[in-house]
Each structure stands twice: as C-alpha cells, then as structure tokens.
Amino acid sequence: MEKQRDLLFFCLVLACSSSFLPWVSSSSAEGGPEKAPPKLLFVFGDSYADTGNTEELSVAWVPPYGSTFPGEPSGRFSDGLVLTDYVASYFGIESPHPYRLRNHVNKTVLQHGMNFAYGGTGVFDTMAKEPNMTTQIDFFQSSVEQNVYTKHDLSSSVALVSLAGNDYAAFAMKKGKPEELPSFIASVIDQLIHNLKRIRGLGVGKIMVTALGPLGCLPQLTAVSSFKNCSSKWDSIARLHNLKLRQSLQELKTNESITGSSCLSSSSSALTVLDLDSAFISAFDMLRHRSGELSENPLKPCCVGMTAGYSCGSVGDKGVKNYVVCDHPETSFFWDNIHPSQYGWRAVYSFLGSSLHHLL
C-alpha cells in the first residue's frame, strides 16, 4: 500500500503564480539573447512549468513551497522559480500569468502571454483531475477566439511545451505491460506532434518542446539506493521517448519541406527541442565536481516527509510539521522527491542557452 501511495505521488506531481510575477532580468541570464526576442510566451505543461494553475489544495500552495521566492507559496512546485520563469527571463518577458487566475488581473498583464500548465497533467489524461494538453490548448484557442491576442501578438510569440512524464507514471500506475510500452510511447508522441501542429496553427510563431529529463534520477526512485544510483528502467523510458520525439519532429520537417506545408515551418528556428536530459545530467556532473559545494549529493531532496506516508509540506494535527527541510536549500538541486529547487532549475537553465538561442 505504501509503495502504491508513493507511486501515486510520483504520478500526480511530476513534471514540469499567484499575484507575484517574477521577472528575472535577461541581462542577468547566462547566454542571454542578442537579437530581438519573442514578445509573448505561452506555456503548456505539467508541474515543471506550472506557476499557479493548480487549486489551492495542491501541495504547491502550502509552506515551505515558495520559501525562496516569493517568500510564500505561489503555486510553483519548488521553493522558488521554475523552468517557465527562467525561459521567460531569457527572452526578457515577465513570467506569463496563470490561466486559472486570468480574471483577477487587468488585460495589460496578459500581454506577456499566458501559462496553461497544470501540475500532474500529461499529453493524455493521467491520475490527476486537472486538464490534459488537449484541454490546455482548448483554453488557449478560446483566448484567441475572444481576441485577447491579435495575429500580430501571436506571430511574435513563442510556446513552451513541457509534458509526458506523468503519462508514463500513469502507465505504470495502471499496470501497463512492458511489451505495451513501445506502442504507448508512439501514441504519446503522435498526440504530442498533433498538439504542436495545432498550437502552430493557432498562430504561435515558434515552439520549444522539452525532451524528458532523466526520470530514473528523481529522488522518488533513487531513495532505494540512498540517492546514489538512477533507475535504469525509468531512464530507458525517457531515452526511448526522446528518440521517438526527435525522429517524429524530423519526419515532420522533412515532409513539410517536400509538400511545402508551413504548419510547423521547416525552418530550424520554428521548432526547438529543449534537451532537459542532457541539461540535467550536465548539471549533476557540475555540482558533483564543483569544489566548496555544501550539497554533496545532487540526487538527494531538500524537503522530505519525516516518516513514511508524509511528504514535503505535510502538516499534522494542530499544525505540526511532518516534514523537514535541509540546512542549505540554496545549494540543493532537488527541492522535493520530484521537483528541482530554484537552484536546480537555474543550473539546468545554464545548459539550455544554445537551444533557446535557436528561437531568436
């Protein structure tokens, strides 16, 4: 029962704001753009990209989440900034406002774009009740049809897509058979490609889609080895997904080049893969070899439940904390059992510059 609960937690919160809208200046971002960047950012994804769409009952809305930024819970699955915030900072855009909170701000705020990502979601339905990618795009389409954004706005925009990890967690929860995995991966990629074409068809200028990070290196799965060894099984799933994703995107570009279609322009700058797998691995290696680091093991989470059955943010009767936070979250790569800390995301971001530059 305990293992089932742990896997359910993995499924619900894998990945990828409130009124606090972070803006990390592009001048401080490593490898910032030299050309005119996109003016709007639209985000579709899971908890790695969510900045406040999940309901207040979510763990992302309780302490100690948000303790580094903005100093209180903001709906981010981290102690601070997440992938969306760093990508927005690269282009000098304010982190786009969460779709769920769109009616609580003036329209001027929405001109930075909008974030449709919900923690726990996937390309398909997962164990979470929040909207999957198709429904997130429906929300976006509704905004376009309501003229929240003009064609000019959309043509100078970029979309961030960060999804699929929860799809494979849900596959495991539903006891999918190993021999069924290749066909399931193919179905995930096929639907993802269809969704990317749909986003482009709605007028978005450029799209960046994340490759899956090393799923087997998440603390939820490395705990059995005292956070020393990644799960080869889960890492292989991520590699197969990433291989199929790149092959499908290349086939799409090739076919469009032949037919003259422009749904996802054959230009290499119209669609970019953000290689989270390589970025995570590079960040791990960097932190392991950096002298003077207070965090010796990048695979060990900072915030954890005190005993089995509890997790980061768990509170018992009379507000008693059933979790502990490490002494140095500012040098811990993982915040909880699934999600990077602000420090972790900044380390990952430092290895994404070349990919982001293709979107200029």
Catalytic residue among 47, 143, 231, 341: 47
Catalytic residue among 153, 231, 336, 355: 336
- Token pair 């209180």 is at which residue? 72
CA 112 from centroid of its chain's CA atoms = 19
85, 143, 339, 355: which is the annotated catalytic residue?
339
Instruction: Let me know if 50 is a catalytic residue.
Output: no
**Dihedral Cα 333, 169, 184, 164, nearest 10 deg:** -40
SS (H, E, C) the chain: CHHHHHHHHHHHHCCCCCCCCCCCCHHHCCCCCCCCCCCEEEEEECCCCCCCCCCCCCHHHCCCCCCCCCCCCCCCCCCCCCHHHHHHHHCCCCCCEEHHHHHHCCCCHHHHEEECCCCCCCCCCCCCCCCCHHHHHHHHHHHHHCCCCCHHHHHCEEEEEECCHHHHHHHHHCCCCHHHHHHHHHHHHHHHHHHHHHHHHCCCCEEEEECCCCHHHCHHHHHHHCCCCCCHHHHHHHHHHHHHHHHHHHHHHHHHHHHCCCCCCCCCCCEEEECHHHHHHHHHHHHHHCCCCCCCCCCCECEEECCCCCCCCCECHHHCECEEECCCHHHCCECCCCCECHHHHHHHHCCCHHHHHCCC
Cα dihedral across residues 62, 67, 68, 74: positive or negative: positive
Q: Examine the residue annotation and report whether 275 is marked as an active-site residue of this protein.
A: no
Residue 347 · residue 30 · CB < 8 Å: no
User: For this structure, is 336 an active site residue?
Assistant: yes
| Catalytic machinery residues | 47, 336, 339
